[in-house]
Structure 1
Amino acid sequence: MSAKHWGITQLYKKFFEEQTTQLFKLPAQLDRQVMPAYGFIDSDDILAKVLEFNLELAEKDKRGEPVVGPCVPTD
């Protein structure tokens, strides 16, 4: 990137939409691994679920309850 004088924006513009690149494939791979950790499924409205989850954790934090992150799925 330094040799081409590129920033992250140029990198994404060049490679994010090319389906054969790792940069295109990585977000889908990440989704497949992260979604089960949060109990999400493909048909979920992810933004709504994340907001709901965030509000729930904020309430727990307000009450002084421990907030524990997701764990690795066991199934």
Structure 2
Amino acid sequence: MNDDKIRISPDALIAMIVTEALDRELEQMPSLEEMNEDFHPSERFQRKIESLVRETKRKAEREKFLSNIK
């Protein structure tokens, strides 16, 4: 038997094939920059994000306040 040959398990071979197929698909997708150029959030989405930011800031301030009391 020739030990110079590389042996690949069937699982590794399948993983390589799937990875290559996914890479080809991803190459055809637009980049994040391209997608962001076309992305215009709805007013409802924008309000929800702003609400989450305000709530996060309030929680951070509350935690800061509570940590100063202890």
For Structure 1 versus Structure 2, the TM-score category normalised by the shorter chain is: 0.3 to 0.5
| Structure in which a larger fraction of residues adopt helix | 2
TM-score scaled by length of structure 2: 0.32
TM-score, reference length from structure 1: 0.30
Report which structure shows greater RCO (CA 8 Å, sep ≥6): 1
